[in-house]
Amino acid sequence: MDLRKSVGKQNELALRVANHVIATTPAAKTSNLVFSPASINVVLSFLAAKSGGSIADHILSLLQASSTQELNTVSSKIVTEVLADSTASGGPTISAANGLWIDKSISVELSFKDLVENSYKAAFNLVDFRTKADVVVEEVNEWVKKQTKGLITDLLGYVPPETELIFANALFFHGRWDEEFDPSLTRNSDFHRLDGTKLRVPFMSAYASYKLRLEVYQGFKVLHLPYRGGGSQDDRYFSMLICLPDEKNGLHAMLERLASCRGFLNGDGDIRGEYADVGEVKIPRFKFGFDFDVSKALQGLGLKTPLEKIVHKAYIEVDEVGTKAAAATSISCFGGCFQPRKKYDFVADHPFLFLVKEYRSGLVMFLGQVLDPCMH
């Protein structure tokens, strides 16, 4: 199995979900947004393996996978390899974990327990939903809070006593910029919102650097901000991409265009750009959280799971030093080396799209939009 190829196919769902959530969720049309495609895809892969039948077929179609075995293998490699912690070697601090809570009255086959513990590396917990559902909810929420270093709290609310199992994924990322922004250069400047109003926000500033990469497309630019790596023994490469439309109010049109273009997130899409030199860079600091019902979003994309509810919460914070981000997803089941020709400034003074990505595998860990840097 080619991990990068499989992950690349799964990435196609990320922009479709973002576009659909923004189009159908009133709050998302007017607020900042962030979610973790990587976290959601692991939970969907588990659901496909657990459910089989038409649900598995729909998920295989959404994630463009050939089999549930492929999804299981990809999920295992993501948890154990792509998202392995690299704090000790000077790279990003990363934590990726899965957990399963299953009612003690359910008869568990050995093959299922093997799937949970070996493919998904998940902690296997026998619990009592029938009489202590609220205690289980508290246990799951505490597990998520611990795994995300306190950034994600209260992932779950009420779950009914007839719940059979809860599967959860938690992801934490803390990366320092390869070249940090000088705080003394941070200045307040105008940020233009979609409704035409302006507000003064702190902008981090930098000037031409060989560590920053810029791609120029028709109608938008993409800035690559690399994170500090984990040394010569670690061939992973983490970076934040900021996709900035040329037009002040061009974010949604850009997102729709990217969502309809296969391969953009993998760098091999139909939309082609050219490398350019970076002039001045100005990016606002921002931090915010977002949560949504994944089940409803996926229903709009053809996946109907009447006996399951999938919820997701994510948080991101970007400043002069780097990025801190976390996400959690749970499912409850019921009964460039070219010589640049031009130089461009990159002033993100209007709404933009961002994503955090690992390049060896192509995994998109976080994706979102910034409409108002001051909105928490």
Regarding the domain delimited by 3-175+287-334, which CATH topology (the fold level of the hierarchy) does it fall under? Antithrombin; Chain I, domain 2 (3.30.497)
3-175+287-334 and 178-286+338-370, same CATH topology: no
Q: Residue 350 and residue 193: Cα distance in Å, rounded?
A: 6
Instruction: List per-residue pLDDT tens for the chain, 376 residues long.
Output: 799 999 999 998 998 899 888 888 777 888 999 999 999 999 999 999 998 899 999 999 999 999 999 999 999 999 999 999 999 999 999 999 999 999 999 888 889 999 999 999 999 999 999 999 999 999 999 999 999 999 999 999 989 999 999 999 999 999 999 999 999 999 999 999 999 999 999 999 998 777 889 999 999 999 999 999 877 778 899 999 999 999 999 999 999 999 888 888 887 777 888 989 888 999 999 999 999 999 988 988 888 877 789 999 999 999 999 999 999 999 998 863 334 457 788 899 999 999 999 999 999 999 999 999 988 7
Model pTM score: 0.93
What percent of the chain is helix, strand and coil (3-state, nearest 5)? 30, 35, 35
DSSP 52: -
pLDDT value of residue 335: 66
Q: Residue 114 and residue 352: Cα distance in Å, rounded?
A: 43
Cα 9–Cα 12–Cα 17 angle in degrees, nearest 5: 140
Query: Quick one: which H or E segment has residue 268?
Result: none
* DSSP conformation letters of 285-352: -EEEEEEEEHHHHHHTTT---TTEEEEEEEEEEE-SSEEEEEEEEEEEEE--------EEEEE--S-E
Task: Using alpha carbons, select from 356, 350, 361, 346 the residue that is nearest to residue 222.
Answer: 346
Positive or negative: CA dihedral 205, 206, 207, 213: negative
Q: Residue 311 and residue 157: Cα distance in Å, rounded?
A: 10
Positive or negative: CA dihedral 242, 247, 248, 253: negative
Sequence ranges of the domains in the chain:
3-175+287-334, 178-286+338-370
pLDDT value of residue 24: 83
Q: Residue 224: helix, strand or coil by DSSP?
A: strand
Helix residue ranges, H only, the chain: 3-24, 26-30, 37-51, 53-62, 68-77, 110-114, 129-147, 251-259, 294-299
Q: Residue 155 and residue 275: Cα distance in Å, rounded?
A: 41
Q: In the beta sheet, which residues pair with residue 215?
A: 222, 275
pLDDT value of residue 61: 95
Q: Residue 261 and residue 252: Cα distance in Å, rounded?
A: 14
CATH architecture for segment(s) 178-286+338-370: Roll (2.30)
pLDDT value of residue 348: 93
pLDDT value of residue 336: 33
pLDDT value of residue 80: 92
In terms of Cβ atoms closer than 10 Å to its own Cβ (0-12, 13-18, 19+), residue 224 is middle
